[in-house]
Amino acid sequence: MRTFADLEHFRNAAPLTGHLDPTRSNQRWLEAAPPPEPASEHLATPLKSLLFLRSGLDASKLAEIDASWCIADLEDSVPEDRKASMRQWLISLLEQGCFCDRGLVIRVNGLDHPEEAVKDLHHCLHRDVNMLVLPMLESAADVRRFDQLVSSEEIRMGIEPGSIDFLCLLERPAAILAASEIVAASSRIKAVGFGHADFLAELGGIASDDTLGAARSAVVMAARARGVAAIASPFLDFSDKRGFQRECQKMKDLGFMGIFTIHPDQDRPAREIFAPSAQEEREAREVIEEFEKESGIVVHKGRMAGPPMLAGAKETLRRVEPRLTPPEPIAVIEGRIPRYGLDLSNAATGQVMECPVEITVDEGWRTLWQASFPSTSRIHSSAEYARAWGLDDTALPFGMLLNLTLCLAVEPFSESCRLHLGLEDARQEACARIGDTFRGYVRIESMANTSRNDASVIRTTHILVNQNGERVFSLIKDSYYDRIPESAAKRKSRSFEQEADLFDAAPSWGHREYIEACLRPPEGPHASLTEGEVILHPSVRPIGISENLLLTTLFRNTHPLHFDTMHFGADGLIVCGGFVQALAQACSEREFRPILDERLERSHHINPVAPGERIGAISRVLEVRAVSKQLEEVRVHTLGLREVDVIRELGGQPLPAELFNPAASKPSEIQQLCREYCPPLENKIALRALRTLLRPRR
């Protein structure tokens, strides 16, 4: 490659026709603009959109373009036989004063075409030129060569040396690897751009976030480390307006401060997106106001904010577009925020809450449930088998009824609770059929603050009632709430007679009674069980992100922790405890089949489960007991596991017997037990469930 020293004769080349008048001044940029800040500070004039001008554009057409920054390209888009005419075109526009009131950037030819680069600098520099794009750089030495030559041209033209800035275009792998050195090579550098097309051509890759991610980050970090702007690659499909807007937002999120634009229609959207939004501006001012009241660390909207947040707020305000006129004052109103869940200030022992939702279960419910929580017991899937046991139709699964009982109560009761701690004595009472309509009720049994007096535990009874007023399902639940006010801790509530009847009436002839009355049970697959054995259930299944949203919506679970990604983020959601319970039971069912009925004696959640995480199970058979000539009860302790390949990770692994102790244990005790004696299960146990299963006898 030839150097500028080899091309000194080009400096004395005859000027093109219509050579520039170096005395013309750029009034807007020299008089109105604030003084340039040090390299460690951010640009005073934000570069949000740099619009490439169409070649041959005349002065009248240029005047119609509302762009703050324009790029005249003498390099990539210009064939070699037209470079002289392009320089003449640019000279003509400058002589007409077309860039007196807007920023002008010239992309000159790079060191891969040194003769053309020298001609560009010799003929086209002018007081109205604000910045040069330096393409095809490889090292800091390339920048220094440009700096030397531009300084000489500025002196020759009577322009103050250093007044023309640089935008370093990093578009080669070597430039990406040397990004920090390149950006530090000259005080003229006020911006750094990324050119993805040449980068990919040399890299041999395809355009994707994966292939471009590292290079984009390198450009942004190098730019921001020196306090200069990072400019993103152009979005080439200028007909895709929505795609361009998404690209701008994505680049802004990565840290770019602007983007190269290739069509006038892209300019205004780019300026709007890369400018702070009205909300960003408001929050920046609020943060600054908080710091003016206090120093060090402040709390803004419930989040801690320190010096980095203050610096970010100031940077945001620097990038706000100046307003020509202040907005007119208008009348404003403030919205009411609805509050759902239990109101601790008015809660009382004995209080009964009716769930506002009423649901009729159709065939679609059963289909979706069986697709998400597979059952291998024929009583849930075969109408003929269910009728042979005395039922009208296939039985609705235990887990479906349990989740209806829990979820219908979320809006009036548990939407405001902190944690779902556990369940006791969950059982089906009356028969439940497709076509039944269900509603729910909750009664507070006890409420007490914790020993530390910073929270409370509330015990409630939940019932599911059908259209005939029959209690179909019931359970007891413990929930973790904020601290109860002293005035409410001992308050009693009167119960309505109708509601008291629902909770206190004896269970009706129900699901289990029909099964116990059957004298000729049907044949079917039957898993053999031995008291004391531990079963590693092979099935491991996820509740996916979409599946979690669908089930949460279907069951009317309104707690935002299960679906509100706006508030909690995609990674902050957790799966409803009832769904985790149901999936752990479903994963264990094949080894216990056929299950005709069950009772959940007790379950406690140990670790939360995120959408997409896999659920498996292991169980210990505690007792097998005959209850009639046809039926037996199996008492099992099941551990629901998260993100464990049960067979591969636990096969041959000694398991502490204490893990299967049916006595209640604190989550911290289970965690410590796993940490000391079974590391593969540390932080992996989602729940512990003590269950009694009703099965046919062999």
pLDDT tens-digit series, residues 3-22: 444 444 334 444 444 444 44
CA 180 to chain centre: 31
pLDDT over 90 (residue 252):
yes
Q: What span, in angstroms and rounded, lies between the C-alpha atoms of 6 and 651?
A: 75
pLDDT-derived band at 490, boundaries 50, 70, 90: low
pTM: 0.71
What average pLDDT does the segment 657-683 reach?
Answer: 92
Residue type, 596: L
| Residue with the two structure tokens 């067979």 | 647
Beta-sheet strands, E only, within 31-154: 49-52, 69-73, 103-107, 131-134
Spell out the domain ranges in the chain: 47-275, 282-318, 352-696
pLDDT-derived band at 39, boundaries 50, 70, 90: very low
pLDDT-derived band at 493, boundaries 50, 70, 90: low
End-to-end Cα, the chain, rounded Å? 90
pLDDT digits (tens, 9 = 90+) for 53-67: 998 888 899 999 989
- The pair of structure tokens assigned to 198 is 């040449």
Q: For position 328, what pLDDT does the model report?
A: 87
Instruction: Check whether the bond before 542 is cis (ω within 30° of 0).
Output: no
3-state secondary structure of 305: strand
Contacts of 637 (CB under 8 A, 6+ apart): 619, 620, 622, 660, 661, 662, 688, 689, 690, 691
CATH code of domain 352-696? 3.10.129.10
SS3 content of the chain, % helix, strand, coil (to 5): 35, 20, 40
Q: Are strands 597-605 and 419-428 parallel, antiparallel or unpaired?
A: antiparallel
Among 534, 544, 479, 562, CA closest to 681: 534
Q: For position 209, what pLDDT does the model report?
A: 87
Q: For position 498, what pLDDT does the model report?
A: 52
pLDDT-derived band at 650, boundaries 50, 70, 90: very high
Are 362 and 554 a contacting pair, CB within 8 Å? no
Q: Compute φ and ψ for 582, nearest 5 degrees.
A: -65, -40
Task: Return contacts of 521-525, CB within 8 angstroms, 24+ apart.
Answer: 521/388, 521/389, 521/630, 521/696, 522/384, 522/385, 522/388, 522/389, 524/378, 524/385, 524/594, 524/696, 525/376, 525/378, 525/593, 525/594
Q: What span, in angstroms and rounded, lies between the C-alpha atoms of 374 and 584?
A: 11
Which is more confidently placed, 23 or 334? 334
pLDDT digits (tens, 9 = 90+) for 361-409: 999 999 999 999 999 999 999 999 999 999 999 999 999 999 999 999 9
Which is more confidently placed, 31 or 250? 250
Topology agreement, domain 47-275 and domain 352-696: no
The mean pLDDT of the chain is: 88
Q: What span, in angstroms and rounded, lies between the C-alpha atoms of 633 and 692?
A: 6
Q: Compute φ and ψ for 684, nearest 5 degrees.
A: -110, -15
Q: For position 488, what pLDDT does the model report?
A: 66
Q: What angle do CA 33, 39, 43 make, to 5 degrees?
A: 40
State which CATH number among 1.20.1250.20, 3.30.1490.190, 2.40.50.100, 3.20.20.60 fits the domain covering 47-275: 3.20.20.60
Furthest-apart CA pair in the chain: how many Å?
114
Q: What percent of the chain has pLDDT over 70?
A: 91
- Paired strand residues for 106: 72, 132
Instruction: Classify residue 442 by its DSSP letter.
Output: E
Rounded (10°) angle between helices 398-407 and 363-372: 110
Q: What percent of the chain has pLDDT over 90?
A: 67
Q: Are strands 131-134 and 352-360 parallel, antiparallel or unpaired?
A: unpaired
pLDDT-derived band at 45, boundaries 50, 70, 90: low
Q: For position 8, what pLDDT does the model report?
A: 46
pLDDT-derived band at 159, boundaries 50, 70, 90: confident
pLDDT over 60 (residue 28):
no
